[in-house]
Structures are given as structure tokens and as C-alpha cells.
Chains A and B, each alone.
Chain A
Amino acid sequence: MTVADARLDADRVPLPHGRALVAVSLKDEDVTDLVARPVLGDGAGRGWLIAFIAASLGAIVMAGGLVWLLAVGVGIWGINSSVVWGFAIANYVWWIGIGNAGTLISSMLLIMRQRWRASINRFAEAMTIFAVTIAGIFPIIHLGRPMYFYWLAPYPNTMTLWPQWRSPLVWDFCAILSYLLFSIIFWYTGMIPDLAALRDRARSRPAQVFYGALALGWRGSARHWSAHHTFTVTMAAMAVPLVCSVHSIVGLDFAASLMPGWQETIFPPYFVVGAMFSGFAMVIVLAALIRWGFRLQSIVTIQHFDIMGQILAAAALIMGASYATEWFSAWYGGRAVDRSVVTFMFTGPYAPLYYAMLLFNVALPQVFWLPVARRSVLLLCIVSILINIGMWLERILILWMTLSHDYMPSMHRLFYPTAGDWLFLFAPLAFFAFLFIVFVRLLPVVSIHEVQALRREEAAA
């Protein structure tokens, strides 16, 4: 049976739990073929080359922007004496949030034995690594003196100084560093069997050496598989608290301060859910692109999108509850300054953005209660992009609302974005695309061994 027939097969074969996650008529070798072709075959095609050139231009723009910023100073952004944090911090939180979904898919779903994760976890983890890398750039470049960013690290020095441990920014430093290291290790070790498969199929000498070196001598023996499984499950068990703690710490950047609108205990869980929300939305978009670009419809099926749509609807409800908690606490707590901030949210100059955020984050995803909506990849992609915009708006409004309208009315000041702000908002997106496009050309975009295992399970069921 050809691969094309297998694609249709996935939609037709009835299974006890509904539609199939992987086309059961595929053989193991077919799975490897599907995933290895773009990497080892005749190349990923002209479409890939065009995308690569476009993304490279974006990456060059980002490099230029960094040189401009470091040479001239953070004054090129719209930040001022009242609104001291602007796009850079919102971007940082947004990118970390996007990254969280990859780790949740890899680790949390593994522990919860959600087998459907197998088709999407590889590129989701890659998304995490690239997102966290980009996110990690912002706390460095937004500093007034970025060349001294390493003072936030605890290292022995002639000044005999440690970082100031009570500051959430030091917690940030440790959290993001550990998150990045963990993600790289988890992603790489999970890829070793697939890299071995590519090593075995590679025809050119450079490809054999490249994948052979990365495969670390994997032989596929029972002992290797046993050790691999134990290792993966252990790492996944560490990853779940790591994900929760990383984004809780990002939330504590605000919650550990004393400003109205920030000093709320709901921030850590609210940020974690928000991260999962925006991350899954990004995964949906990436999954749709990869599925279409590499013709992986038999491995990444409609059922995956169905499940992710349900997650979006649920997370949107939790986000709505979090927003409502903010409004309720401000009223219930009775402090004039808190009520003033909430009034400012709904009636101030930023109010249109606030309403847009509520629409994109809470109202629109409710359409995924309808099964027919969940199975339309186009609708999923549109709503996911709007969710990502809405989540970015949420981050920037958390900053703007409080910093523009806090305790001293004489220092109330609005934020106006500059060209530098827009550059650092869009150029990293191009850089992310650049990294991703290189990734899909060099490494297996889907976890071959896990999909094979999933297919065997579905066939046996």
C-alpha cells in the first residue's frame, strides 16, 4: 500500500476510541521513510529554500538590531521613567510561554500515558529549545549594561559578591538556564534512536559521519532500549515540576513586587496555564505547517488536532477564570489603588487592547466546544494565531496597566512603541523561523521510534 493510500486509511479505519492516531496500515519502515526523506533524500524542495532565504534575511535584521541596541542603548525603545519595562519583557514572557508547551507535550503527556503525543513531540521540543533561546536573549539585552549580565550568576569573584537572592530576576536566571539545559538534553537523548536510523540509511559519507557521531553508537539492543526508556521517563518526571516552576518564577517577576495589579498570588499558576495555552496554540500552527509541508498526514492526524483543540478550549476557560479573579480581588480587597488599576484596564487608553485580549483569549477559543470546529485545521490555525496575539497582548498589558497607573498620579505615563520595539518584536519571529527551517532540514522532525511504537499499539488494539 502506498503512503498516499495510508493517508486516507487513517480517516477510514474505525477503532474503539474513534479515529486513528496513526494509520495502522503503515509498516515500521514506512514511518522511517516518511520522516527521513526530507533529511536524507533529494532535499526538502524549493519551498524550503525560499523559506530559508526569507528567514535568513529576518535573522540578519535581528543581528543588525542587536548591534544597534548594544551600541546606542535601551533608549531606542519606548520605555520611560514610569513604564520601565516594555516590549522586551513582554516578548521574553511570551517566548518562554511558547516554549513551555513543548516540554509539557514531551514530558507531562508521557507520564500521563497520552500516546498521541508521539507524533508531535519532536518538533514541539525543538520549538521549546528555540523559543527558550530567543527568550533568554531578552533579559540580557534589555539591561542598561548588558555586558555585566553574568553578575546574576553565582560565581566566585574577586569582589566576593553573590547575587541578591531575594530578587526574582536571579531566580529567573537559574530557572531559564536549567530549563534550556534540560530541554536540550531531553530532546537530544530522545533523538538518539532516530539519529541511528538516519545513520544507517545515509548514503553520503558526510551524512553518515554527522548522524553517526550524534547517534553515540546506538545499536538498538534490548539493553539500550531498556536504559533509554528508564532515562526518558525519569527525565520526564523531572520536567513536569521544572515547567511549572520556570513559568511560576516568571510570574513571580511581577507577583513578588508590590505594585497594584501585579501583587496577586494567582500569578504563578495563571502564568503556567497561559504558557501552556499559548504554547499549544503555537504547536497547532507548527504541526499544521509540518504536516502540510512534509506530507505527514498519516502520522500527524486529525485526531491530534481534535485533542489539542479541546485543550485550547479548556485553557481558555481557565484564563477567563484567572482574569475574573483579578477583577474580583480588586473589588473584594477594597483598596482604592487596585480598583483604580482595574477601572483603568476597562476605561483607560489601553482598553481597546484589553478587550481584544479578552476576545482572542477567552471568547474565540470557545468555538472548539464544537467537534466540527476542532477538526478544521484552517480554523484551528486562525484561532491559534489570534490566541498567540492575545497572549502577547496579555503580557504587554500586565506591564503597561500597572506601570502606567500606579500609586503616584504625577508619574502616570503611557507607553508609546518605537521602531526599535517593533523590530525586536518581529525579527525574533523570523529568527525562530530560521532556526526551525534549519532544524527540519537537518534532523528528524517526528519521533520515529515513538510513532512506530504507537502504530504497533494501535494495530494490536
Chain B
Amino acid sequence: MQSLNEGQVKTLIAIECNPAYDAPADLAFKDALQKAEFRAHLSQIVDETSALCEWHLPASHALESWSDLRAPEGTASIVQPLIEPLYDTRTAHDLIAILSGQTGAKPYGLVQDTWRSHASKDAFEGWWKKVLEDGVIPGTASQPVNVGDPTLPEIKPIKATEGATLVLAADPTLWDGRYASNAWLQECPNPFTKQVWGNSLGMNKADAARLGLKNGDKVRLTRNGRQLEVPVLVREGHADGVISLALGYGRSAAGDIGTGVGVNAFAFRETLASWVLDQVKIEKLPKSEDFAIATAVTRLDAATKDLFPVLTLAGLTSANLKRNQESQPSLLPPSPWPGPAWGMVIDNSACIGCNACVMACQAENNIPVVGPEEIEWGRIMHWIRIDPYEQDNGPGQTRVAGFEPVPCMQCEKAPCEPVCPVAASIHDSEGLNVQVYNRCVGTRFCEANCRYKVRRFNFFGYTDGQEYKNLGAEVLHAQKNPDVSVRARGVMEKCTYCVQRISRARREAEKENRTIRDGEVIPACAAACPTRAIHFGDLDQNSQVRRLRSEPQHYALLGDLGTRPRTTYLARVLNPNPALEKGEG
């Protein structure tokens, strides 16, 4: 930085980074950057740094490049492209090769050369193909290092200071802002607050009451001469005097999607105080701002505790979660069909609320992005939603009790079916409630009658002529899954248990003259879940989902209403250390 500021830098090349946006504010990088004589930026979009450079070099996406990378424990892997580059772009390898004089070198050759020493000249091609097939390069993991026995660090108590302490964190979906132009990630709800398309200042209820603030009120943060105006969102998990803000927002050059969304916390950050900033002054402003909140966070109390039961391991065997409702009478006739009976079991103990299932479902089923204004009006489009549940944790504080993913329950006695006037919501022989898009006239009675509110309506042509901003561009048509239709304006849609995947498995099984095996059909949400919380299968076979349904912690959401959902849950089971309960240790 010193040479840059003194004007000693002749050429500055920025490779796939964005320091004009995310460098700490005290470096004044934007001004320093312009002191270099020649500036070029290799990046995917023309962003804040590109705007200040003389040349912007378009970079290839990782999915269309040859490269390599290392896992945290050292194992190396080759990055293989999935498609030919869509545009005339180059990778960082191309650039560095040109800069070092190897003008004709291609990334494929460069990557091979990096690893050529791992096999003899003749055996290299065979070795290379095996490495590409396996995905990892064997024997590249780092050796463990002996650091001795673990010891507790010595934490000196901090003197209490004036003002609040601001904790900055990378955003769960936009990370450091690099994904600000990704509409899916902008519309992916924050796991705890369910806010989309923006960030907010988090603080607990007691602090908000003390400062006279409620959700949406804007405050001005002041520290070391820097100021930041940001709206407040009262939320769980904050100690008294601690406020939080996510990085990655407030970008000024992130394309149609990401520009101007949220507040830029990087403008407040300093080199020596990059994650915890103390002595922040909070000043209430007479302004307020609306948030886009996808769904609400539910407080666990006497009325809502049945929606998210929390059990302890000690009390598990005596748990009486009588929510299987087979004993509930019904006026509707039983289903007479043979064949697979699809069911899903979601384990609340495993769910961490990460939203991978939400994103996977969006990718698999061509679910449109609706934009912040539509979310503010309450028109979410994600077929699966994750409901966070909070419980009291002392005066003025709450903490997360757990997360409950809610896809369509595929009820055996579905309330949405008898109310559709045109029979667009019907039941198939395998237990799925299917929505017939081309029959739907859009009365929305099905969503009115759904107890779980899992159906989604196309209030506008979100995929069909009234897309949000530039999301109707021609190139995005290639992203759509060809196995799933795109819904028109005025049509109701919902989770289908990835019926296209069931259909594919059925066709393969029929070709081979056998039944579908357990584990052969994996819906997109189950495939993406990192903790394997979602299980799917045939209830008529001796499958994993059937075994899970006989667990003592198994229950059906709103099971006493007699809808007989095929999507059921395993309650969250905790095993707290008795010493923790008493506040010791």
C-alpha cells in the first residue's frame, strides 16, 4: 500500500478480486488505486474495481475453466469445465501465462504441466484420466503436524467501553459481496432473520427497547469519523450491547441485480478492526425502511410448541408424539392403488437451516426469482421454506430452537384437492398430490385451504414475460431444467417430490424389468442437504423412510388435523449436559 500511495507502482493488475469495494475503509484503496500508471482488472463482471481501471479483462467462470485447487487438509483436485466458455473470456492462468511470456499456453496444458511430475512420461495420460475420473489426486494430503496437547487460551477480560460493539460477518449467501449479482442468492433468505435482498443491523430486544427502536427504524453508526446509516432488525442471539451487520451489500457496480442492495459495511471496516469494532455510537434517525422478509420467525410458546417439538434424549422413550394420526377417522375413502407410496422424512436434529435445499429446488424446478418488491408484498416463490423457531433465553433475549424445512406435505387427504373447481389439484396413484399447470385457472382456493401454506402462485408472469430485471435474457433459457415445465402467469405451483426424477427412475426400472430400488430416487433437496436431513423413499418397501417413521421422535406437522401428510418429521432431540442447565462449566 505504501508504494501504491507514493506513486511508485507502474502497473497494477487485479485478478479476480474487488478491493475497490471490499478493502478496509482506512486504506482508502479507491484513491490509491488511481495512482498506479497502468491498471487492468480480470473479473467476471465490470465491478467497482474495473470501473477505476483502464482495462477490464473478462474472466471465465470456474465452471467453464481448467484449473486445480486444494481442500483444507491438502488434497488436490483438478477443476474441470462443464461447458465450453459461453463468451470470449480467459482464465487467470491465461493471463499469468501471457504476463510471464508464455503467450501460446492454454490452461489445459498449464494444469497438466503442474502435475506432470506425478507420473512418468508414458503413464501420464492414463494417470491423468484416472485423476479426472476419481476427482482427487491421491497422496497429496498434508501430513499431520504435532502441536502438542491442546490447551485453553488465556483470555484477558476486556474493559467495558462506551458505545456498542459491532460484529461484522460474511453474509450467509452473498459471502463478501462476490455473489451480489446472483439473483438466487439475493433472494435466498437469511437463515435466522429470513431477510432477503438486503442486510440490516441486528440487535437484541432489550437493546432495541432501551434505544426506542423497532424493526425498520434507521440508525446512524459512528466510529472513528466514519458513518453508516442502516436499518435495524431485532433478532435473536445477541448479547446486550452487541450489534451485528453482514458484509457484502451496498455495492455500487454489481450489475442490474446487485447494485444498491443493502448497506456497505466495508465502508466502516478498518484494517485493525475488521471483524469486531468497539465503541460504536448509535444514533436513531427519523427515517425508516421496509425490509423484504420472506417468512416470519416463530416463537415457541404454548400455542406453537406442537409445530416444532423439542425432546431430550432422556425423555425420548417416554415421548408421546401421537401425531401419526392413523387413528383419526376420515370421511374420505382410502386410496386403493398398488405401487410405490412415496414419502419423505425430515430430521429436525440434522437441519442447520443452511438453505441448500431451497437453492437446489430452485435450480431443479425452474423456480423464478421475483425481486424485492414482490417479496415485500409477500409473494415468495420457493417451493420449500425453512421455518426457524425461537425460544426464550433470558430476559429480552431469544435463541434459535431449531429449523424446520416445509415442502409440500403431499397429504393423503389433501385439503387442496376438493376445493379446486377445475380439478387441477389431484392425487396420483403413488401418493403425490399433483398440480396440473395447464388446467389451473388460478382461483387460489387450494392455497387458501392448505393448512401448511406450501403452494405458490404466479401473480405475474415471473418466468413468462414479466421477469425481474434482466432475468428474462436469452442466455438464461439454457439454465432451465428441460425435464420441468415453466409455469405461466396465473398458475399455481408447488413441490412435486421432484416427480421428474421419480419418472426417470421408473422408466429406467421398467427398461430393466424391475421395481425402483430404495435410494434410487433422490429429490433435489435431499441431494443437496449437507447434513443428510432429508430422506425420501417408498413407504411400501422396507426402505429407510419406513424405518424412520417408527422412530419414537417421529411426528407429522399439524398431524391432529387428519390431512395424513406423506412428508413427516423427526423431532429435534437434545442431550444437554446437566451442568450447562445449571449454568456451570
Contact = CB atoms under 8 A, between A and B. Distances in A.
Interface of B is mostly: loop
Contacts of A257: 415, 419, 445, 448-449
B422 A81 contact: no
Contacts of A78: 377
A258 B415 contact: yes
B378 interface: yes
B451 interface: yes
30 contacts: A73-B459, A73-B489, A75-B377, A79-B444, A80-B378, A80-B379, A81-B455, A81-B456, A82-B453, A143-B441, A144-B491, A145-B442, A145-B489, A145-B490, A146-B441, A151-B439, A152-B441, A163-B422, A169-B419, A169-B421, A258-B449, A258-B561, A259-B451, A407-B452, A408-B452, A409-B298, A409-B299, A409-B307, A410-B296, A416-B377
Contacts of B473: none
B425 to A, nearest CB: 9
- The 7 A-B pairs at the shortest CB distance, nearest first, are namely A144-B442, A144-B490, A80-B378, A75-B459, A169-B421, A164-B423, A84-B444
A403 interface: yes
Interface string B526-549: 000000000000000000000000
Contact of A152 (B422, B457, B458): B422
Interface in A322-342: 336-337, 340
A410 B298 contact: yes
Given A81-B379, A412-B296, 15 more contacts: A81-B447, A83-B378, A144-B440, A144-B442, A145-B488, A151-B441, A164-B418, A166-B418, A169-B419, A169-B445, A258-B415, A258-B449, A340-B303, A408-B451, A410-B295
B380 to A, nearest CB: 6
Given A72-B460, A149-B441, A173 B421 contact: yes
A305 B307 CA distance: 55
Interface string B28-54: 000000000000000000000000000
B466 A73 contact: yes
Interface string B244-286: 0000000000000000000000000000000000000000000
A408 B389 CA distance: 12
Contacts of A407: 451-453, 558, 561
A334 B550 CA distance: 30
B70 to A, nearest CB: 40
Given A74-B490, A152-B421, A85 B303 contact: no
B379 A410 contact: no
Contact of A163 (B303, B421, B442, B458): B421
A259 B449 contact: yes
Contact of B420 (A75, A167, A337): A167
B443 interface: yes
B422 A151 contact: yes
B364 interface: no
Interface string A134-170: 0000010011111011011000000001011011111
A162 to B, nearest CB: 8
Contacts of B415: 257-258
B403 to A, nearest CB: 11
Interface string A23-54: 00000000000000000000000000000000
A148 B441 contact: yes
Contacts of B418: 164, 166-167
Contacts, number: 154
B195 to A, nearest CB: 14
A115 interface: no
B338 to A, nearest CB: 25
A384 B457 CA distance: 38
B297 interface: yes
B581 to A, nearest CB: 27
Contacts of B421: 151-152, 163-164, 167, 169-170, 173
Interface string B451-476: 11101111111000010000000000
Report, as a range, how many residues of chain B touch the other chain. Answer: 35 or more
Contact of A410 (B385, B442, B443): B385
B304 interface: yes
A406 interface: yes
Q: Interface on chain A toward B: helix, strand, loop, or mixed SS?
A: loop
Contacts of B491: 144-145
Interface of A: 72-75, 78-85, 139, 142-146, 148-149, 151-152, 161, 163-164, 166-170, 173, 256-259, 336-337, 340, 403, 406-413, 416
Contacts of A408: 307, 387, 406, 451-453
A74 B561 contact: no
Nearest to A336: B303
A256 B440 contact: no
Interface in B106-161: none
A104 B453 CA distance: 39
B492 interface: yes
Contacts of A411: 295-296, 453
A112 to B, nearest CB: 36
A312 B421 CA distance: 36
A56 to B, nearest CB: 31
Interface string B406-444: 100000000100111111000000000000000111111
A145 B379 contact: no
A74 B442 contact: yes
A371 B489 CA distance: 56
